[in-house]
A and B are shown apart, each in its own frame.
Chain A
Amino acid sequence: MNELFLITPIFLPIILGAILFFIPFKNQKQRNAYVITSLILSSVAVWLSAFLVPDNSLTILHFTNELTLSLRLDGAGKIFSCLSATLWPITAIYAFDYMKHEEHHQMFYCFFVMAFGTTMGIAMAENILTMYLFYEMLTLTTIPLVAHGMTMKHNRAARKYMIYSIGGAAFAFAGVVFLIVNGAGTFRLGGNLVTVDNETLALVLYFFAFMGFGVKSAIFPLHGWLPTASVAPTPVTALLHAVAVVKAGAFALIRLTYYAYGTEFLYGSWAHYVVMAFSIFTIVYGSVTALRQKHFKRRLAYSTISNLSYIGFATTLMTPAGLVAAFCHLVFHSVIKIGAFFAAGSVLHNSEREFVPQLEGIGKKMPWTFGFFTVFALALTGIPPFCGFFSKWYIATAAFATDNPLATVGVIALLISALLTAIYMLSPAVKAFFPRENAEIHLDEIKEAKPAMLIPMGICVLLCIVLGLFVRIPVEIIGEVLGI
């Protein structure tokens, strides 16, 4: 199979989504069938291209002679694309049941499917311009999903998301152009930036680009959109704000640092320390704020902020081990957090309760949901043998290996945040299962979630455990495909 096939996983879902908008479906069943088939087709395309397509570049079109829109599925891209391709259909299944009580599905699913394509585009971009393009596209395709509720609140959330995200991209753009001008636009592990005349400029622009792409991965001063965007329907928050969008940001950071600028250029420069400091601060900040949140989904959102900065921190270690650790946490956290959001969503869906104090004793009624949630909580906290522990392990070992004092501080931050994670993730579980005896609880109308919701959660739980027990395999794969 030659690299021309790479077009499929990107444009198939975009086209199918666009078509979806115009098909007049008779009932939900038909539409769901259409959606799931198109998603599965696309995922199959992704897996096929991951395994069969040779690692060659494919130029789709020339903006100008130098600037091309070209694709190439290298190791990093494979990991990210396959991860998303796995989780997308699962979320779709979850969404079918969840979205029953929401309106105008047509538009929702249209963009839901299209976003898949744009995410793939980010994963498969060969040069930074292409990535930038799909990065913007991703923002645009996901705005309607955030604004789905169409109330003023959703409207504002969408606007905030949009402004943060595109604004960040605007700052990153300077760095992008700099790389193109200096002929480092094409991604290669280790970077193509050989010599620059003005090093200060290069580093300043790296910092800009890092923060700019960091917006999507919610780095500290620019994280505001993520909690606000958690007003979106849960499948969206689960998929986009735990996996696709935010991880796209993290992925962009990795591309920028390891594949465009190159670590030997950055290592030890002031920019290196600054960005690392930012990530470390965000780790702690996210957890502390999550602790103060009463709103269940917002709490998860803040925990996402903190966890994304684990990835950021691993990235800023700028060693091969750090790269592996980053991808490790990227994968594991996706699995855990999407599951946690599913759980929160099914609570919201079946009991209309969105605040943690209201969860008192709800575990009796929804044992499965909260059983799963507990697993996710433990995994996120980093209790072995769940997978969350091992990514922490990798990050920490990589950090110590650099014997850079700031990195050690980072590990301490990691553990502090782990403790906080334990507190804010376990307290809902405890509340749910062990209600205080004199607490007034009205659980009569509440029912356990439908299998359509439980199965995706179950899959995630399985993944958490399996990835944890046989962590050797995924890590080896990651190391192998990254060529480390």
Chain B
Amino acid sequence: MEFIKNFPFITIVLSLFCSVICYAFKDKKARFVTYFLLIISSCMSFSVIMYNLFSETGYFAYRMGHYDAPIGNEISAGLLEPFFALLFEIVIFLSITGGYKRLQKDVEESKQRFFYIMINLTHAALMSLCYTNDIYTAYVFIEICTIASCALLMSSKRTRSLVAATRYTIFSLIGSSLVLIGIVLLYSVTGHLLFPNIFETIQALWATGEYTNPLTIALGLIISGLAIKSGMFPFHWWMPDTYGTATPCASGILSGVVSKGYIFLLLKMIYRVIGPQIFLESGINNILLVFGVCGMIVGSVSAIRTSNITFMTAYSSAAQIGYIYMGIGLGTKEALLAALFQIVAHSLTKPMLFLAAGGLSDTVGGKQDFDSLRSSAHYNKPSGIAFAAGALSMVGIPIFAGFVPKMLFSISAFGHGFKTYIVLLALAISTILNVIYFLRTLVNIYSPAIVDIPREKIHFSKIKVFTVVVIVMAIVNLTVGLHSQPIISLFEKGIEIFINIR
């Protein structure tokens, strides 16, 4: 069974390889290559999970080229890493299958294979962001991920999305250079690139009390860089344009997966590089908490104020990411669990929402404002149902996936003194705001039209695949919501490994 340890590496390399060979194919074939890749690699990730579940440590590190530190660079897998790899693969798979019809409309015939190339690159980058165990690999793949996702954005015909892409690129450039500086600082202080070594050195340094400022600055730079990329509160302004104008498949992947990849890397940085102890002592967690809460509120308020369905969904991702940062900011294991589960719930829900929104706007010829979209759910039933499911999940109605993280957040909120009140209040208020904009939209799309514009009735026989995909997504959402214990216990086990074993 040892060879399973190669799987993480293989997935990365394989997807890089596929991205190259996609160039050789027409779009259809390229798509199937991508499917193939995704299926294979998800099987691998799954087997890695299984392996770690039943191996005694539940963790292994894999040194590429068998050089030792400080020269070699390595990837490692506990339980969380392969789990999120699997999650991302599934989400990407579903987004593509659900979104390719629309893709063929949005992207020029000749450019479509590039789209799949970029998807494969993104996939490779995400895999390595999940598995990486040294800051060098981390940096490289952050950049690859950024480039690929920018390209995903640019692929659409609409010039608006070009502008959005420009914005996104600039933001993420700033982000990545901040991360780079942070990494460099870390390196210069510790002289190491591998997580475990950096960790030990930092612990030692912190104990002696030397270099605390450089360390704090490095941590701050890395966190703020990744925060910009993942769209934390003050830096979330690029989100609506980006997600709102891209093709649904792309927005689904970007909002559901890419931002989550950065966040997962951030978690790695905090818990495996800096160490929770120092993270809490540095007081950065409070900043994250505050920004997270602000993000929840501000994102929702902006979502209420917009009248464009995809923009609304995009702003809501800003709010949802706020939840995650709030969880990180609380800094306890329970909060971390909640944050991880929030990642799961959001990645499962958001792509569904984007796809559904796309499907709805198809019925009115691509219009996206609420007045035109009224009663569109009657013209495109699957999208209507999917949107309903997604909206309810985001609001946090029990039996949907979105409910569980809210539950966990509020459980983890107790016992933090005044923070308890802040978190509980924030949860309640943001729920209300979610209700306002999501369910308002829900009622709208099901109530009769007020403006008369040409509408085409999209019968689900015409969009079989899409229908199947959204139904599958909804079912997955429900199952996760109804029976969350397996995932939770996996996370609990995984978090122990994640924090303690190096």
Contact = CB atoms under 8 A, between A and B. Distances in A.
Interface of A: 61-65, 67, 129, 132-133, 136-137, 140, 143, 147, 150, 152, 155, 158-159, 162-163, 166-167, 170-171, 173-174, 177-178, 180-181, 201, 204-205, 208
A162 B443 contact: yes
B490 interface: no
A65 B414 CA distance: 19
B398 to A, nearest CB: 4
A102 to B, nearest CB: 14
A24 B396 CA distance: 34
A65 B398 contact: no
Contacts of A129: 398
A177 B407 contact: yes
Given A155-B447, A163-B439, 18 more contacts: A62-B483, A63-B398, A63-B404, A63-B407, A63-B482, A140-B392, A140-B397, A150-B447, A152-B450, A158-B443, A159-B439, A163-B432, A166-B439, A167-B431, A174-B428, A177-B407, A177-B414, A201-B420
Interface string B382-418: 0000000000100111110000101100110010000
Contacts of B411: 177, 180-181
Interface of B: 392, 395-399, 404, 406-407, 410-411, 414, 420-421, 424, 427-429, 431-432, 435-436, 439-440, 443-444, 447-448, 450, 482-485, 488
B440 A159 contact: yes
Contacts of A159: 439-440, 443
Nearest to B440: A159
B435 A173 contact: no
Given A158-B443, A177-B410, A163 B427 contact: no
A132 B448 CA distance: 31
Contacts of B444: 155
A180 B444 CA distance: 36
Nearest to A132: B398
Given A136-B398, A147-B447, A61 B436 contact: no
A464 B411 CA distance: 46
Given A143-B443, A174-B424, A150 B399 contact: no
B117 to A, nearest CB: 41
Nearest to B406: A173
Nearest to B485: A64
Nearest to A177: B410
B443 A155 contact: yes
Contacts of A140: 392, 397
Contacts of A205: 424
Contacts of B450: 152
Given A132-B398, A150-B448, A180-B411, A61 B483 contact: yes
A173 B435 CA distance: 14
A61 B443 contact: no
B382 to A, nearest CB: 16
B414 A178 contact: yes
A166 B424 contact: no
Contacts of B431: 166-167, 170, 173
A364 B480 CA distance: 61
A133 B403 CA distance: 10
Contacts of B488: 64
Contacts of B429: 170
Contacts of B406: 173
A166 B400 CA distance: 15
A212 to B, nearest CB: 8
5 contacts: A63-B482, A132-B398, A159-B443, A163-B432, A177-B410
Nearest to B488: A64
B436 A163 contact: yes
A136 B397 contact: yes
A133 B439 contact: no
A167 B435 CA distance: 7
A65 B486 CA distance: 10
Contact of A174 (B399, B427, B448): B427
Contacts of B421: 201, 204
Say what secondary structure dominates the interface of chain A.
helix
Contacts of A173: 406, 410, 427-428, 431
Nearest to B436: A163
Contacts of B432: 163, 166-167, 170
Contacts of A177: 407, 410-411, 414
Contacts of A171: 428
A41 B220 CA distance: 64
Nearest to A67: B407
A147 B447 CA distance: 8
B302 to A, nearest CB: 18
Nearest to B423: A174
A158 B447 CA distance: 11
B200 to A, nearest CB: 36
Contacts of A65: 485
B480 to A, nearest CB: 11
The 7 nearest A-B residue pairs measured at CB? A170-B431, A167-B432, A133-B398, A177-B410, A174-B424, A170-B428, A166-B435
Contacts of B439: 143, 159, 162-163, 166
B411 to A, nearest CB: 6
B448 A170 contact: no
A260 B260 CA distance: 39
A63 B485 contact: yes
A114 B147 CA distance: 50
Residue with the greatest number of chain B CB neighbours at <10 A, chosen from A158, A163, A177: A177
Nearest to A156: B443
A78 B58 CA distance: 51
A182 B483 CA distance: 22
A179 to B, nearest CB: 11
Nearest to A174: B424
A63 B488 CA distance: 10
A64 B334 CA distance: 14
Contact of B485 (A62, A163, A166, A174): A62
A183 to B, nearest CB: 12
A182 to B, nearest CB: 9
A178 B404 CA distance: 15
A38 B427 CA distance: 39
Given A62-B485, A63-B485, A150-B448, A166 B395 contact: yes
Contacts of B410: 173-174, 177
B392 A61 contact: no
A177 B420 CA distance: 12
Contacts of B397: 136-137, 140, 166
A162 B485 CA distance: 30
Contacts of A133: 398-399
B333 to A, nearest CB: 15
A221 to B, nearest CB: 14
Residue with the greatest number of chain B CB neighbours at <10 A, chosen from A129, A171, A173: A173
A180 B410 CA distance: 11
Contacts of A201: 414, 420-421
Contacts of A158: 443
A163 B435 contact: yes
Contacts of B447: 147, 150, 155
A61 B428 CA distance: 26
Nearest to A178: B414
Contacts of B407: 63, 67, 177
A143 B391 CA distance: 15
Nearest to A65: B485
Contacts of B420: 201
A64 B403 CA distance: 12
A177 B435 CA distance: 20
A167 B482 CA distance: 22
Contacts of B395: 166
Contacts of A170: 396, 427-429, 431-432, 435
A330 B440 CA distance: 32
A67 B399 CA distance: 12
A85 to B, nearest CB: 24
Contacts of A163: 432, 435-436, 439-440
A173 B403 CA distance: 11
